[in-house]
């Protein structure tokens, strides 16, 4: 398929669902590519119940990767239902220490989705491991034995995105849309996104 060709929407998929996939979907796929994990590896996701985390939990667990997600308590059963093996509350006391007791050797890698989560993520990764960041955090001083990199964008991820759209259309991967806003409430949608507490994706219908 030429790189500039439009991706056809599967017949079972609504336009709203189709619109909700590309940005978060591509970011989730680029995250998985950068993490480069294999079955049995452990992955900590900082901010795992948002649009990107919702997809990464499912993509990773489908590959046999053991996922630990962070979000507030209200999202714990949600993350576990998507396949995460453990959920931690980033706002609770000593959450990182408790996680270290569970995996004393540290996790293989971490995905720091929320800005400001790289430092905590570095502490949870074992020596020689990787932290992949989605939102930057380049002011953080890296630890010498942990590599910290931002996701990269590749044009050939389009093929993987087409597979993801197909997997969502048949229900193999769950697409979660928190709310569909009418265009008149677009600013409300933006405000919700800016809270950084949306679950899954928000869509504005034009």
Ligand X SMILES: NC(=O)c1ccc[n+]([C@@H]2O[C@H](COP(=O)([O-])OP(=O)(O)OC[C@H]3O[C@@H](n4cnc5c(N)ncnc54)[C@H](OP(=O)(O)O)[C@@H]3O)[C@@H](O)[C@H]2O)c1
Q: Which residues bind ligand X (CB under 6 A)?
A: 23-24, 27, 46-53, 70-72, 74-75, 90, 113-117, 134-135, 196-198
Q: How far is the CB of 145 from ligand X (least distance, A)?
A: 24
Query: Which tokens hold the place of 84?
Result: 């995460």
Closer residue to ligand X, CB minimum distance, 98 or 127: 98
**14, exposed or middle or buried, with CB in 10 Å at 0-12, 13-18, 19+?**
exposed
Q: Residue 202 and residue 106: Cα distance in Å, rounded?
A: 34
Which of residues 36 and 77 has its CB atom nearest to ligand X in the complex?
77
The nearer residue to ligand X, 127 or 152, going by C-beta atoms, is 152
Tokens of 98: 């408790």
Please identify the residue of the shown chain whose CB is closest to the bound ligand X.
50
Q: Which is nearer to ligand X, 81 or 127 (CB)?
A: 81
CB of 135 to ligand X, least distance (A): 4
Q: What is the chain's alpha carbon radius of gyration, rounded to the nearest angstrom?
A: 17
Give the separation between CA 15 and CA 28, rounded to whole angstroms. Answer: 20
Strands 147-150 and 125-133: parallel
CB of 26 to ligand X, least distance (A): 8
């Amino acid at each position: 398929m030429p790189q500039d060709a439009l991706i056809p929407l599967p017949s079972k998929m609504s336009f709203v669902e189709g619109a909700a996939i590309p940005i978060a979907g591509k970011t989730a796929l680029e995250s998985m590519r950068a993490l480069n994990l294999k079955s049995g590896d452990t992955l900590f996701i900082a901010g795992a119940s948002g649009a990107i985390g919702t997809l990464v939990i499912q993509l990773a667990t489908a590959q046999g990767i053991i996922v630990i997600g962070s979000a507030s308590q209200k999202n714990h059963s949600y993350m576990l239902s998507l396949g995460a093996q453990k959920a931690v509350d980033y706002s609770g006391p000593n959450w990182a220490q408790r996680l270290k007791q569970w995996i004393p050797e540290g996790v293989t890698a971490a995905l720091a989705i929320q800005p400001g989560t790289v430092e905590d993520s570095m502490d949870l990764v074992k020596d020689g491991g990787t932290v992949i960041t989605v939102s930057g955090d380049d002011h953080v001083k890296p630890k010498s034995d942990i590599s910290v990199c931002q996701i990269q964008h590749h044009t050939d991820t389009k093929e993987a995105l087409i597979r993801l759209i197909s997997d969502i259309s048949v229900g193999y991967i769950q697409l979660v849309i928190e709310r569909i806003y009418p265009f008149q409430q677009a600013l409300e949608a933006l405000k919700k996104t800016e809270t950084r507490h949306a679950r899954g994706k928000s869509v504005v219908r034009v």
